[in-house]
Amino acid sequence: MTVRKAIFPAAGLGTRFLPVTKAQPKEMLPLVDKPTIQYGVEEAIASGIQEVIMVTGGGKRAIVDHFDRSVELEHYLQERGRADLLDILARVDRLSDEVVITYTQQKEPLGLGHAVWTARLLVEGEPCAVLLADDVILCETKPVLKQLIDAHAETGATVLAVRKVPPSQVSRYGIIATNGSRNGLHEVTDVVEKPIEADAPSDLAMLGRYVLAPAVFEELGHTDPGAGKEIQLTDAIKRTIGRHHVVALEFEGDYYDTGTVPGYLRANLMMAMKREELRGELAPLLRELLGD
């Protein structure tokens, strides 16, 4: 079955970024000049997704406004003949023409698994993608989500995006156990949320892109709180292993973890340096700061 829908869990409180996230969703923090969540929505559209389901909570109005039209701003720019800026607005507007965006509320912060489960009635029993907006992954040849969707089309399995991480970092992620790979896909035999280094079954971490078979939603309904006392998506996936096929794909693409302050700053710097108009000013500044 084709994957038509994608869930964006966006209800988190963003406490790692306080105070900027006190009155502003962390998903709206920019990477250079584009909100983090827009990268994910663009990736979903480029991967053939037709419906984006945003799971939001209180204080997330700015996300809704961002993907809506701003007639007032358009008039303002038209009067001043700013075709260049109108073009940037039009590009954002087009996103909500290319995909239906629906919103549902997670009423309590009970964890990632609970946020995904909140969207179950909109998913209507279909296989469904999940994108974590914190994890920005750019790939010029094929968007990461499309890589996963293609793997799902071949296997019918739940597909997890994974990449090797240094052993010292395994406790920050969901980690897979695998008994080998077939056709470039790891056969997943177990998943563990945020293991301590000594207990990690591998160094392959799940990095924020999933295609979930409907069985995962059934399990989410009765998954108890796990790591961090939160209902974990990883735990629901684990409960399907054995009865349902779960595979992991070592994806291609540049990965930016924008969910921590150092990761966010790194992503901004790296993306800014890729922009010709900014690199000219930034490169000498960086050299100066490093004392070269």
Interaction site with ligand G1P (CB under 6 A): 112, 132, 134-135, 173-174, 193, 205-208, 232-234, 259
| CB closer to ligand G1P out of 132 and 185 | 132
Nearer to ligand G1P, 92 or 173 (CB): 173
Q: Closer to ligand G1P at the Cβ: 38 or 232?
A: 232
Separation of alpha carbons 32 and 273, rounded Å: 10
147, 122, 116, 130: which is closest to 46 by C-alpha?
Answer: 147
Q: Tell me whether the omega of the peptide bond preceding residue 109 falls within 30 degrees of 0, making it cis.
A: no
The residue among 14 and 143 lying less far from ligand G1P, judged by its C-beta, is 14
* Smallest separation (angstroms) from ligand G1P to the CB of 111: 8
In the bound complex, which residue of the shown chain has the CB atom lying closest to ligand G1P? 174
Q: Closer to ligand G1P at the Cβ: 24 or 171?
A: 171
* Pick 112 or 188: Cβ nearer ligand G1P: 112
Q: How far is the CB of 6 from ligand G1P (least distance, A)?
A: 16
Query: Shortest gap between Cβ of 191 and ligand G1P (angstroms)?
Result: 8
Taking the complex as a whole, the smallest distance from the CB of residue 205 to ligand G1P amounts, in Å, to 5
- At closest approach, how far in Å is the CB of 110 from ligand G1P? 13
Minimum CB separation from ligand G1P for residue 96, in Å?
A: 26
